[in-house]
Amino acid sequence: MDDSIVNRGKIVTAAGTGINLALGVLYTWSIFKGAIRQSIETGGAGAFTWNMEALNDPYAVCCLVFAFMMIVAGRCQDTVGPRLTATIGGVLVGAGFIWISQTTSYLAWVLGFGVLVGTGIAFGYSSATPPALKWFPPSQTGRIAGIVVAGFGLASVYIAPLAKYLLDVWGLEGAMLFFGIAFLVIVSLLALLLRNPPAGFVPQSFEERRGQSEACRKARTTFEDLDLSPQEVLRTPTFWLLWLLYFIGAGAGLMVIGSVAGIAKKSLGSSAFVAVALLAVGNAGGRVAAGLLSDRIGRAKTLAGMFLFQALLMFAAVPIVGSNTTGPLLLVTLATLIGFNYGSNLALFPSFAKDMWGIRNFGVNYGILFTAWGVGGFVMSRASQWLSASTGSFSNSFLTAGALLLAGACLTLLIKDHKATLRRRIARQLAAQTP
């Protein structure tokens, strides 16, 4: 592969990762929620006056809007390109944070954080992965997808302590204003580095670098048949199976992420943000690890293993979270591992989409599949907040999530791993066409 092509691909991948590093502020919601809760409990002039059961609403709405706007944003990315799409995302996220920095109104926060920020994240996120994938061959799909989306998961590593510092120094309003201006500028600048390959560009595979380019070009016709339109995708049973699995995997993880600071507070006190940051490390690591592993053993096997591991963690969380004597090390380890397994979903499902339905309509096709992430996050985070508010415990939430994950692990047996099938078919074609 030409060095200039490799370098361009690396630049686009780095820019997409950087954009996600900014937009991953979503995963720091539990820090903001804690500040709102404290304001409600303290009271006084200018304090928040929300109902406690509604604390997760802006986050839940943001997840839902993010997911469904991925369809619109994905179509925008497919038609006008990643630069403009990402720039729109940066402007919307910045505007949303600047708005909520000026108010304590429940409705304003639902609209500002939930709708504006959610829409902006969708436009930025949808433009980060597709251009990066287009610069690399199919054999590296999992690795590249994992690296780019790892930025989103890793964001809390710096945003959580930064948010804690800003909240202590400037208060919630000042912190939101800072993030609004910073994200607007950073995302808009990084968007300038995003670029799709030129028309007719075909990334070279390992076999081509060994001198088998003609055979590989012919064999690649196998993949061209996979460029399905959104209408064709919706008619495939595999889409609905993947949608259900994404709902389960994402919902279980987002349930914990949205409340991790509150869960960790009794063990870590004012240092609860450490659990958020370490969960982010696991979140990012899971994306890269799952992407690499799925390139080797297949997406379905990797997903099944991650679901089983996550289910065990959910069941283990019941006595750990419910105990008053749980040490901070054990709690942080649990949060990190849950983040690791949740993160794997964000690398595996875009890889499934590219493998099965092609790259031409990847933005909108993955956007449709991504609605499962939003519905899962909305349903599970709302259910978790309701259960914790009514029972004072997260036990029932963890048990429900664990049962769903076990069912999901069984359902992965129904997935036909198109990636492995296509690789075998191409290998046979290469063997037949190579002297």
HSE-up of residue 215 (Cα within 13 Å, Cβ side): 18
60-82 pLDDT per residue, tens = 889 889 989 999 999 999 899 99
Q: Is 202 domain-assigned?
A: no
Torsion of CA 382, 383, 385, 387, to 10 degrees: 160
CB 125 within 8 A of CB 66: yes
Q: Is 32 domain-assigned?
A: yes
Question: pLDDT tier at 425 (50, 70, 90 boundaries)?
Answer: low
Q: Is 312 domain-assigned?
A: yes
Domain extent, residue 144, equals: 22-42+51-189+226-426
Q: Is 152 helix (H, G, I), strand (E, B) or coil?
A: helix
Name the CA radius of gyration of the chain, rounded: 22
**Phi, psi of 413, deg, nearest 5:** -65, -20
Tokens 């009271």 — which residue?
Answer: 43
Helices in 101-235 by DSSP H: which ranges?
Answer: 106-109, 118-126, 129-134, 141-154, 156-191, 206-209, 213-219, 221-224, 230-234
pLDDT for 263: 62
Angle subtended at Cα 346 by Cα 342 and Cα 350, rounded to the nearest 5 degrees? 150
Q: Is 35 helix (H, G, I), strand (E, B) or coil?
A: helix
Q: Is 220 domain-assigned?
A: no
Query: What does the block give as tokens for 433?
Result: 């066409």
HSE-up of residue 138 (Cα within 13 Å, Cβ side): 26
d(CA 223, CA 50): 52
Q: Is 3 domain-assigned?
A: no
Q: Is 214 domain-assigned?
A: no
Q: Span 89-104, mean pLDDT?
A: 95
Domain count, the chain: 1
| Whole-Å CA distances, 144 to 130, 131, 299, 373, 380 | 10, 11, 14, 20, 29
**Phi, psi of 416, deg, nearest 5:** -90, 115
Q: Span 44-49, mean pLDDT?
A: 85
CB 264 within 8 A of CB 272: yes
**CATH number of residue 70's parent domain:** 1.20.1250.20
Question: pLDDT tier at 209 (50, 70, 90 boundaries)?
Answer: very low
Question: pLDDT tier at 102 (50, 70, 90 boundaries)?
Answer: very high
Q: Is 219 domain-assigned?
A: no
Nearest alpha-carbon partner for 116 in 69, 72, 149, 155:
69
pLDDT for 157: 82
Averaged pLDDT score across all residues of the chain: 83
- Which amino acid appears at position 73 of this protein? A
- With a cut of 80, say whether residue 165 has pLDDT above it: yes
CB 104 within 8 A of CB 417: no
CB 374 within 8 A of CB 237: no
CA quadruple 427, 431, 433, 435: dihedral positive or negative?
positive
What does DSSP assign to residue 49? -
Tokens 């679901």 — which residue?
Answer: 307
CA quadruple 309, 310, 314, 317: dihedral positive or negative?
positive
Question: pLDDT tier at 391 (50, 70, 90 boundaries)?
Answer: low
- With a cut of 80, say whether residue 352 has pLDDT above it: yes
Question: pLDDT tier at 256 (50, 70, 90 boundaries)?
Answer: confident
Q: Span 97-114, mean pLDDT?
A: 95
pLDDT for 221: 46
Of 13-17, 157-161, 207-211, 354-358, highest mean pLDDT: 13-17
Q: Is 433 domain-assigned?
A: no
